[in-house]
A and B are shown apart, each in its own frame.
Chain A
Amino acid sequence: MAAVASAEHAGTSLPAPTRRPGRLRTFPFWRWAVLLIAAAYFLIPLYAALKFAGFKAFTQVTGYQDFSSSFTLSLKLAVVATVLTLVLMVPTSVYVHLRLPRIRRLMEAVTILPIVIPPIVLIIGVLKVAPGRLLGTPYLLGLEYVVLAMPFAYRSLDAGLRSFDVKTLVEASNSLGAGWPTTLWRVVIPNLRTAILSASVLTIALVLGEYTMASLDNFQTFPVWIVNFEQNSGPVSVAASLLALFVTWILLMLIVTVGSRSARKRGGGQITLFSVGTADGRPTMGEPE
């Protein structure tokens, strides 16, 4: 009994002095472990793809038939979808925010639909209502992408609108003699910059990587081209997808960097790719930081 007690005593008292530093040492260990596992998860396939493609494939890929046409098409669609999305969603979300705050819940539910509804249903829906002139042109896809991007764009913009007192700014602008278009252009949009950039980034990323709809609609966008090309040459098609990945990544980083820099200058929120909110964007009445 005495032995047990002393052992227990030893067991509890001995590690005590070492526990603190021990914990400090294990904490970064787990942090690094998680980071490494995550990195491995993402980097190993990339490395494998790189190795499989070989550097030669990268020099060849641009020369292949339809490479540039499909790549240009994807870029064009990204631009069309982003512009259309913003033109539609910015005024809508501002209007809902100012005049119909009660239907915000409903808007959230409606804008989530494109994620829930199968692509084929969306395609048929868009085909039904699309103007005849667009049928058979790739711009039809642009319309579909606008629908697809809606959940992300709306959420970004809604979060942006919550981050400052839109109502007061709009009223201040009105009382100073600015009509609606001027107020939207000079007051609302500049303060919604971060959210608009965030919405654009998400839309562009979505369009550049979308495969299902494009292939169902029979248009050769870049992702479709990659899949089709795979039958000809595996390594080249893998090189093409890696290229697409890097181009998209560089594009997004460019937008984020440029956006953050000008936003920071005005004390706006930092743009991050996947956090759509700008919780720190709210101006405060306190002392300047």
Chain B
Amino acid sequence: MTTNTAAGATAGVLGQPGDGAGAPVALQGLSRSFGAVRALDGLTLDIAPGELVALLGPSGCGKTTALRIVAGFESADAGSVTVDGRDVSPVPAAKRDMGMVFQSYSLFPNMTAIDNVGFGLRMRKLGGADRSKRAAALLDMVGLSPQARQYPHQLSGGQQQRVALARALAIEPRVLLLDEPLSALDAKVRVQLREQIRTLQQRLGTTTLFVTHDQEEALSMADRVGVMKDGRLEQIAAPHELYSRPATAFVAEFVGTMNRIPGTYQGGDDVTVLGAVVPVHGERPADLAGDVDVLVRPEGLTIEPAASGNGIVTDRTFFGSLTRVSVLLSGELAVKVDKASTAATELVPGSSVQISMPAGVPVLVTARR
């Protein structure tokens, strides 16, 4: 990840990078229902000091509810949230010392950018001169000094979110909470801001909980990503592990692109797929036997031109160094295979290819769909 931000020499005002501002956060058995809907169902999650954890999941999986309980905007039916070992459940949101960045529309429209940033400091009774100095330093940190005197309606969406970030960081929060802060922005601004947030977070060492439905965002920013489903954590792991060794079929298919290929599983450690026998990892439901689906990433398959292969190329998409080739296997099974672009020139649509599984690469198995 690149580290080009507008961060200036603000260490004097903001403390040294990674000076231990971050506090450990623990969510223990959090449950919450809204009427008949169980938004959270025993969520347990530990966040190390200074760590950025992303909660990723489809809408309605409970990730936002979890964040709002940590922030103090919702209360849990059961379970606890501890910060620095102290249960914060009885503490109102205003006294939790948590900086929060919302999806959108969260700047106070009646205040200039610098007054927005200074608001939390004012609530902490920081005097006028110190307050404006610190607010100015934070605006500088997000590269918005020239906009200090502008009102939110005069700022672009990306600028507004940067002010919101500066405002949340101004109070030196023990925990930073990000509630889909980039989802209202256009793609280019989103990528820039993503890098800026990550760089600042690492520099300040603020423990951060980040909620998103965008897997690319989660994978590129977080130290660990927790994939949620039905109010529970399916898996929490470092991005590369989540991608290469997903624990469940849900995680596998939610993160990145996955092929489902029929295979035969007789229990034990191996599964037969595409004529090869490969090892199995991750969950193995006890009743799983016989016909199963094997989950393989596009880069987990090999593709070679072959006169009488087992598939026909239907399409290909150029992604720079990689080319993604769509192949129709016998039995109307469509799969996607990644190939280095330099080696993919022959794979024109209509050509016959041989798709195979490399030996020894572990795969996930799941019930046949």
CB pair A173 B119 closer than 8 Å: yes
CB pair B102 A171 closer than 8 Å: yes
- Measured CB to CB, the closest approach of chain B to A283, in angstroms, equals 5
CB pair B157 A285 closer than 8 Å: yes
The answer to the question of B110 belonging to the interface, with a C-beta cut-off of 8 Å to chain A, is: yes
- Could you say which of B75-83, B146-154, B193-201, B227-235 contacts chain A? B146-154
Query: Which residues of chain B are within 8 angstroms of A191 by Cβ–Cβ distance?
Result: 108-110
Query: Which residues of chain A are within 8 angstroms of B124 by Cβ–Cβ distance?
Result: 177
Contacting B94 at CB < 8 Å: which of A169, A174, A186, A285? A174
Chain A residues 262 to 279 lying within 8 A of chain B, measured CB to CB, are 266-268
Contacting B184 at CB < 8 Å: which of A171, A182, A285? A285
Report whether over half of chain A's contact residues are helix, strand or loop; otherwise say mixed: loop
Query: Which residues of chain B are within 8 angstroms of A182 by Cβ–Cβ distance?
Result: 123
The answer to the question of A187 belonging to the interface, with a C-beta cut-off of 8 Å to chain B, is: yes
The residue of chain B having its C-beta at the shortest distance from the C-beta of A285 within the complex is: B157
- Measured CB to CB, the closest approach of chain B to A178, in angstroms, equals 5
- Measured CB to CB, the closest approach of chain B to A191, in angstroms, equals 5
CB pair B106 A165 closer than 8 Å: yes
The answer to the question of B250 belonging to the interface, with a C-beta cut-off of 8 Å to chain A, is: no
CB pair B156 A172 closer than 8 Å: no
Whole-angstrom CA separation of A267 from B151 in the bound complex: 8
CB pair B102 A172 closer than 8 Å: yes
Whole-angstrom CA separation of A169 from B154 in the bound complex: 18
Render A248-272 as a binary contact track against B, CB cut-off 8 A, 1 for contact. Answer: 0000000000000000001110000
The residue of chain A having its C-beta at the shortest distance from the C-beta of B119 within the complex is: A176
Whole-angstrom CA separation of A179 from B104 in the bound complex: 22
- Interface size, A (range): 20 to 34
Whole-angstrom CA separation of A267 from B110 in the bound complex: 8
CB pair A177 B104 closer than 8 Å: no
- Measured CB to CB, the closest approach of chain B to A279, in angstroms, equals 15
Residues of chain B at interface, number, CB under 8 A: 40
Residue among B96, B98, B119, B160 having the largest count of chain A Cβ atoms under 10 Å: B119
Chain A residues 156 to 184 lying within 8 A of chain B, measured CB to CB, are 164-165, 168-169, 171-179, 182
- CB within 8 Å for A175 and B108 given contacts A285-B184, A286-B157: no
CB pair B109 A266 closer than 8 Å: yes
- Measured CB to CB, the closest approach of chain B to A35, in angstroms, equals 34
Contacting B160 at CB < 8 Å: which of A171, A173, A285? A285
Chain B residues 66 to 121 lying within 8 A of chain A, measured CB to CB, are 71-73, 92-100, 102-110, 119-120
Whole-angstrom CA separation of A176 from B177 in the bound complex: 12
Residue among B107, B109, B153 having the largest count of chain A Cβ atoms under 10 Å: B109
CB pair A177 B157 closer than 8 Å: no
CB pair B156 A288 closer than 8 Å: yes
Render A182-201 as a binary contact track against B, CB cut-off 8 A, 1 for contact. Answer: 10001100110100000000
Given A175-B96, A186-B108, A288-B156, output 18 extra A-B contacts at Cβ < 8 Å.
A168-B104, A171-B73, A172-B108, A172-B164, A174-B94, A176-B167, A177-B94, A177-B97, A177-B123, A179-B92, A191-B108, A266-B153, A267-B153, A268-B109, A284-B153, A285-B185, A286-B157, A287-B157
Give residues in A with beta carbon < 8 Å to B.
164-165, 168-169, 171-179, 182, 186-187, 190-191, 193, 266-268, 283-289
The 22 listed contacts between A and B (C-beta, < 8 Å) are A165-B106, A168-B105, A169-B105, A172-B100, A172-B106, A172-B167, A175-B98, A175-B99, A176-B120, A176-B168, A177-B94, A177-B120, A177-B123, A177-B171, A186-B108, A191-B108, A191-B110, A266-B109, A267-B109, A267-B154, A283-B152, A287-B156
